[in-house]
Amino acid sequence: MSADQGGGSKPFDPFEPFRGMRDAYLDAMAKAMVEAVNTEGYAQATGAMLDSSLSVSAPMREAMEKSMLQVLQRLSLPSAQDFATLADRFTNLEMRIDDMDAKLDRIEKQTHAAPSTANDQPVTPPAQDIKAEAERPVIANAASAPKPSIKKASPRKRTSGKGAR
């Protein structure tokens, strides 16, 4: 590894042969260990160790949890379980808000897309409907009488009502 860096001008390193020996030994050791951990014996031994440590710690943990719960109850403080339940409810709320946010996004997108769709394809009834709606403010801005806008708006009612049927 280090031999690669120095190039030709690297000074004599008396430890280099030892490094070679070390690496060879570690290579052999690594292969042996990979085989060792891949045996049923290793799985059994680690499983037994884990199992016994969990068994030993379980009564202590349970007693600790019980006493902690009692203390918290006496002090009128919420327990970890209470916080977990709250967190669950918060997540559910977040999901609902997220769904509402998505719905709003969709509605906003549809309302923004509506005028441009109408301009692009004025032939289909829904587009006419949107176009009529889009034209309304222009007439109002021109300070003309409100009558034409009502007239223009009337086909919208017809198309949407009858078209739906």
Q: Which residues bind other proteins (CB under 8 A)?
A: 1-2, 5, 19, 22, 26, 29-30, 33-34, 37-40, 42-44, 46-48, 50-51, 54, 57-58, 61, 80, 83-84, 87-88, 90-91, 94-95, 98-99, 102, 105, 109
Token duo for residue 19: 């490094």
Q: Which is nearer to other proteins, 81 or 160 (CB)?
A: 81
CB 114 within 8 A of CB 131: no
Q: Which is nearer to other proteins, 19 or 157 (CB)?
A: 19
DSSP 124: S
Token duo for residue 143: 């300070």
Select from 57, 90, 60, 64 the least CA-distant residue to 72. 64
Q: Which is nearer to other proteins, 19 or 151 (CB)?
A: 19
Torsion of CA 75, 77, 81, 84, to 10 degrees: -170
Identity of residue 91: T
Q: Which is nearer to other proteins, 71 or 83 (CB)?
A: 83
Q: Which is nearer to other proteins, 1 or 75 (CB)?
A: 1
CB 131 within 8 A of CB 122: yes
What SS3 string covers 150-163? HHHHHHHHHHHHHH
CB 149, min distance to other proteins, A: 33
CB 17, min distance to other proteins, A: 14
